[in-house]
Amino acid sequence: MKSSAIQLMPGITGTLDTDRTSGGIRVVTDSVSHVESVTIGAWINAGSREDPENRSGLAHFVEHAVFKGAGSRDYLSIARCMEDVGGYIDAWTTKENTCICIRCLKPHIELAFSLLSDLVCRPGFPAGEIEKEKEVVIEEIQSVNDSPEEMVFEEFDRLSFGHHPLGHAILGTEESILAITADDLRTFMHSNYTPENIVISAAGCTVHEEIMRLTEHHFSGFDTSFSPLRKTRNFAMAGYHPFNVHSVQPIYQTQVVSGSITERDNSDFYSLLLLNTVLGGGMSSRFNLELREKHPLAYNAYTSLTLYDDVSMFNVYAGTDNRNASRALDIISAVLAEPAASMISPEELETAKTKLAGAMIMGMEKMSRRMSRNARDLIYFDRVIPLEEKIHSLEAVTPEDMNRTITRMFHAHQPSYLVFEAEEDDE
């Protein structure tokens, strides 16, 4: 990719600042003058892989439960707080992180911090509301069970990671959710929602000094009588064994997932992003062309890259008719088995660099993307990586780098395969 191919508009990168409060919370601000709103996220470096044994789904349930009452607010006050002034609030849980975020206009930043800090620092966990919320989460679990695509990925994780917490469903099971107690919620929060685990990330119409002042003022009073959970995020690759599993399911379309796992190596970070772009990123990607355009075997075909603290997972997905499943598997396995030196041509690599750099730049136009990107950088790299540096790192990836990454990901051991076969119609 030629460095002159993409020119950054003045001001698109904003003004980045990072700091730490007196209590130990990390703060990152991305001040952007040409927008009227600000997106603020409280990121907790704890997700479902921190769930204790027999309490799968606890991290995700905590994320739900804080909205049932916090500080002096009941669930209705929480729901209306930002909506009544034109803002919104959202939250999500992954296997390693939890985020509660608010978007609002600049005059309402103080209100946003008041609400956000109540949810993170002062949840009430009212017993009656918690019991009702269990039913809500169970319905969410059922919705996943109605989605074959989500189900096949959950099962792939379970087979890949076994009894390790990475193999557990983020939502948990109906049994594990019903077993959760208020003490479980409090213990999880006291052990994980601690200053050293929290990042406050703000992007938009604001200034760093204001965000620091509000964080210092509102995010205080943590209960220090509990010891923070010492994180031991180490999945032993020796415990991973490639598999090839076929299972008949009561579904209409056969689901095919292939995947490989390797120990995380940040020196491969950008080459993995480029590999994902070439093989499954968009209509012109390798698997979309092979499985949809050249051979009309699938409507939906893509790749995904998941980067954990300790391991990286690369997946290929296709939804296809039973009659075409074997052919789709042959195509997937043939691509993944290609020699590293010939899997990606120099022209494909340069095109992928341009595509990925363009996506990064366009992502800067969304404050929620900037907020999330900066928080993840702090959590995983202990610094915010400027956009210019990311683009330069993409440009610097060589064919030799790609060869090394492909070999580590696909050739060091056999990829795994999971097929959910649709039930045959007896009629």
DSSP 382-407: SSPPPHHHHHHHHHH--HHHHHHHHI
286 within domain boundaries = yes
Q: Are residues 91 and 192 in the same domain?
A: yes
- What is the structure's pLDDT at 236? 73
Residue 277's nearest CA partner among 379, 397, 380 is 397
Do the domain assignments include residue 229? no
Mean pLDDT for the stretch of residues 171-199: 96
Average confidence score pLDDT of the chain: 93
- Residues 166, 74, single domain; the answer is yes
CATH number of the domain that residue 22 is part of: 3.30.830.10
Helix 399-406 and helix 269-280: axis angle, to 10°?
80
Residue 226, pLDDT > 60, answer no
Question: Are residues 123 and 265 both part of a single domain?
Answer: no
Does residue 344 belong to any structural domain of this protein? yes
Q: What is the pTM of this model?
A: 0.93
Give the domain extent around 321. 241-422
10-19, long-range: CB < 8 A, 24+ apart: 12/361, 12/364, 12/365, 12/387, 13/364, 13/386, 13/387, 13/388, 14/203, 14/370, 15/208, 16/374, 16/384, 16/386, 17/208, 18/378, 18/383, 18/384, 19/208, 19/212
Last residue of a domain, one of 187, 218, 249: 218
Q: How many independent structural domains does the chain possess?
A: 2
In this predicted model, what pLDDT tens digit does every residue of 351-389 receive, in sequence order?
999 999 999 999 999 999 999 999 999 999 999 999 999
Domain membership flag for residue 128: yes
Grade residue 413 by pLDDT with cuts at 50, 70 and 90: confident
Over residues 307-326, the pLDDT tens digits come to 999 999 999 999 999 999 99
Whether residue 117 has pLDDT greater than 70:
yes
